[in-house]
Every structure is written in structure tokens, then in C-alpha cells.
Copies of this chain bind each other. A is one copy, B any other.
Amino acid sequence: MLAIVLQQREEMQEDMMNFGVLGSGVVAQTIGGKLVERGHSVMLGTRDAGKLADWKAKAGAEAKVGSFADAAASGEIIFNCTNGQGSLPPLKAAEEQNLNGKILVDVANPLDFSKGMPPSLTVCNTGSLAEQIQRTYPKAKVVKTLNMVTAALMVNPGLANNGDHDLFISGNDADAKAKTVELLKKELGWQRVIDLGDITTARGTEMLLPLCVHLIVAQGSPMFNFKVVK
């Protein structure tokens, strides 16, 4: 028994990765916490480290907090979990050289709630937040995914329909997408991931958000996802 535990810990340490998660909200804390739980080292990047003291205390020894630039520099893979409407300034603060060559998983939605319900998107139809980010950081490998589900489902898809539902993924770099799919399956428990194509296809998943908002209101809960059936 002890041998197995030690072996598992050794395997976890071998596979241990450093993640940088930009953001301090529920999505950042949930994804960051899950990756720590899975044996990785995670730094959340924020303007206000004080907001993350509780998260740091609860999430474990490998849960770290720093500036946007610290988090981006420390991560082999970066998650953008900032408010989608205001994602570009945090990414600028993260500094381009800390993003270049890395997978940048963009989980954010450019939702504008400032005019009340329903929210509108600050960019859509002929563009998307993911494309804006890719254009601004051409050497980062932007992968859009996870943005259409609530935070709890992102890291525990089994909470809906035993995990039998679909996640969509978009990005220009095939290898970055393949590595992200592996991460989604192995670390977060996703069973089904549909590759939509290049980063322009993120328009489709970002434009799904208005329907998601209507469904949350109509059903009274964000704990759902879509399954593509044939």
C-alpha cells in the first residue's frame, strides 16, 4: 500500500507542471485549485494578491499568488481566466515575452453586463476575443475552450450527465490543441472534446454565451452543458 502511494506520488512529481493562471475570480480559483489538487504547481496572477489569501491558504502548498507577469513567467501553460471584457490589459501586464511560445488557454468571454440583462458581447460575429488575443500575441499559441460552461463543470464535467457532453476547442496550432485536449481529459476529466478548427471558430463558442445566459435564466441553474447528438 505504502509502495503504491509512494509510486503514485513519484509519478505525479514526474508529471508535475507549472501553470500560470491569470485572474482572481471564481474561474481562476477553481481551475487553479483543481490543478494544484492534481499535483501541479500553480501561480494565480492578480493585481490584488490580498483577494487570493483565502484561496492560497486552502488550495495547498503548491498554490502561489503573484503579479500577472510573475504568473505568466512561472507557467509552462497559461490560462486566461480574467474578465473577458477586460482581458487585454492583464495580458499586457503579463508581458509578451512571458507568453511567447506557450499555450495560452483562453477561457474568458467578452461579456458586457454594464447595460443589464441580457449581456452583449464586446466583440463577435466578424471577430472574437480569442482572435484579438492571438493577433496581439502572435507568438503565443492561443487555444479557446471551456468558456461555455460554469466553473464547477470546467473542472468536474461529471457533475452533468456523468460527463457525457461536449467541449469545443479552437486554435491555430495543432500541437497546442492536442496538448490542451490531453490536459482537459487527464487533469480535468473531460471525455468529449470537439475540434472546431482554427482560432476564428472561437466566434462560434463565444457567440454561444447569449444562449447559455438565456438557459441559465430559463432553467434557474448554470449546471448544464450541450451534447451534440447525431
Contacts and interface: CB of A to CB of B under 8 A. Distances in A.
A212 B124 CA distance: 15
A105 to B, nearest CB: 19
Contacts of A121: 125
A221 B212 CA distance: 24
B204 A168 contact: no
Interface in A172-200: 194-197, 200
Oligomer: number of copies: 2
Given A125-B125, A161-B230, A224-B228, A207 B211 contact: yes
A229 B228 contact: no
Contacts of A126: 120
User: Interface SS of chain A: helix, strand, loop or mixed?
Assistant: mixed
Interface residues of A, number: 40
A203 interface: yes
A214 B201 contact: yes
A202 to B, nearest CB: 9
15 contacts: A124-B207, A160-B230, A161-B229, A161-B230, A164-B229, A194-B215, A194-B218, A203-B210, A204-B211, A207-B210, A207-B211, A215-B228, A223-B230, A224-B229, A227-B229
